[in-house]
Amino acid sequence: MFAGGGGQQDLKGCRAKTACRETPVYSTVPRHLYIHVPFCARRCSYCDFSIAVRAATPVDEYLLALRTEADRVVQPSWTLDTVYLGGGTPSRLGGEGVARLLSAIRERTQMNPGAELTLEANPDDVTPEAAGAWFNAGVNRVSLGAQSFDDRVLDWMHRVHTADQTRRAVHCLRGAGIENISLDLIFNLPAHLGRSWESDVSQVIDLEPTHISLYGLTVEHQTPIARWADRGAIVEGTESQYADEFLYAHEATAAAGFDHYEVSNFARPGRASRHNSAYWTRAPYAALGPSAHSFDGDFRRWNVPAYADWAGRLQRGETVIGGEEELSPANRDAERVYLGLRTKAGVLLTESEVAAAELWIGKGWAELSGTGLTLTPAGWLRLDGLAATLAAGRDKRVIPPRSTTPSRCYI
């Protein structure tokens, strides 16, 4: 999912470099920090993220390596507005492990008093003891991987929790004092599972989270479902199902008081993810951990993906940067267009672009307020095509023919 910098996909068209600095150098001071915690009890059937499946989480070994990297990267002059622990499954560090991790960050930099501290968690890791330790360590937002409330579906996904554990986890977090809770669901599952999307959406709303993230299932290379697909199994829903479920979720969450503020994200008023919003506005952010990505406005860098490689390099005093790319002016403009159209903020158009965008508006794909263009939910289904069309038009100073084909644009 997009929230985790360790799984963030790189935009194409940038100049990749093979010779990288030993440590990142930020041209602009970052106010946001992503930390990748790769450990999982099992690889989910759809997952292609950088993870390390371990029966027992090597907390001490991981934290030693993380502190070593933090000593290279994090600066005492930084003041952080957000910290995001993504994965993988950061909750597998337990209550004490998360507390030690955040303590290591506080020892090396500053945090604003109102900083957003997010922890990704699996429901089966949430206990009263762990939740209490997270709260005492400063965690004030938890992103809980529910994915479905149908146990048969969870088993197909290779999830290791049940629907009841999700419900108990939400109550447990609230009991510990963590009220800002986000729940994830996955849609567009194959019909043979018999999953009721309407029921899952209803059940997630009934739990009254402050935030909901919805992701359409896609087949990624080298995942279990990719292997199932190679054998001829149906592992996705249809294009029409994809659109129907996305639009149904939009209507249901809006009726429940959620703001569909980004293509995959819905929030109660004032509860949008501040960390992910930094990504979508191209704010600089730092990153630690295997596969973690950082960005300073001009360069994007990423660490080596494998946990053992990352930890071994740090132990030997070697660089863990696996690569970097410099964004050209055209790349940066294309990125602004794409990320802007992902959100309700939209993008500002030139006079000629306003006229050219009238077809999109007429088809119900976009709305115009002054010179600000935002996509409707129907337009978000065509996000990739519309963003590419607008970006290409800016590069050529004309708008080329518009895409009318829905696209699976979710990360």
Read off the pLDDT of residues 170-218 as tens digits, 9 standing for 90 and up: 999 999 999 999 999 999 999 999 999 999 999 999 999 999 999 999 8
Domain layout of the chain by residue ranges: 5-280, 329-396
Query: Alpha-carbon distance 369 to 198, whole Å?
Result: 33
Question: Are the C-beta atoms of 59 and 97 separated by less than 8 Å?
Answer: yes
Segment holding 145, helix H or strand E: strand 141-147
Read off the pLDDT of residues 117-155 as tens digits, 9 standing for 90 and up: 999 999 999 999 999 999 999 999 999 999 999 999 999
List Cα–Cα distances, 225 to 38, 89, 218, 234, in angstroms: 20, 20, 9, 9
Q: Name the class of domain 5-280.
A: alpha beta
Query: Alpha-carbon distance 308 to 304, whole Å?
Result: 10
Segment holding 257, helix H or strand E: none
Q: Which residues pair with 185 in a beta bridge?
A: 147, 214
Looking at residue 49, the DSSP 8-state letter turns out to be S
Query: Alpha-carbon distance 210 to 267, whole Å?
Result: 6
Query: Alpha-carbon distance 336 to 394, whole Å?
Result: 12
CA proximity to 288, closest of 40, 143, 138, 109: 109
Question: Are the C-beta atoms of 147 and 183 separated by less than 8 Å?
Answer: no
Spell out where 289-385 has E strands. Answer: 293-295, 299-303, 321-326, 347-348, 366-369, 372-375
Q: Are strands 79-87 and 110-121 parallel, antiparallel or unpaired?
A: parallel
Query: Alpha-carbon distance 5 to 293, whole Å?
Result: 5
CA dihedral 89, 93, 95, 97 (to 10 degrees): -140
pLDDT in tens, the chain (411 residues): 434 454 433 322 333 343 345 677 777 899 999 999 999 999 999 988 889 999 999 999 999 999 999 999 999 999 999 999 999 999 999 999 999 999 999 999 999 999 999 999 999 999 999 999 999 999 999 999 999 999 999 999 999 999 999 999 999 999 999 999 999 999 999 999 999 999 999 999 999 999 999 999 988 988 999 999 999 998 889 999 999 999 999 999 999 999 999 999 999 999 999 999 999 999 999 999 999 999 998 899 999 999 999 999 999 999 999 999 999 988 899 899 999 999 999 999 988 888 878 889 999 999 999 889 999 999 999 999 888 888 887 765 433 333 333 333 333
Question: Are the C-beta atoms of 143 and 120 separated by less than 8 Å?
Answer: yes
| Length reported for the chain | 411
**What's the token pair of residue 346?**
């939209």
From edge to edge, which strands make up the β-sheet containing 372-375?
347-348, 372-375, 366-369
pTM summary value:
0.90
351 burial level (CB within 10 Å; 0-12, 13-18, 19+): exposed
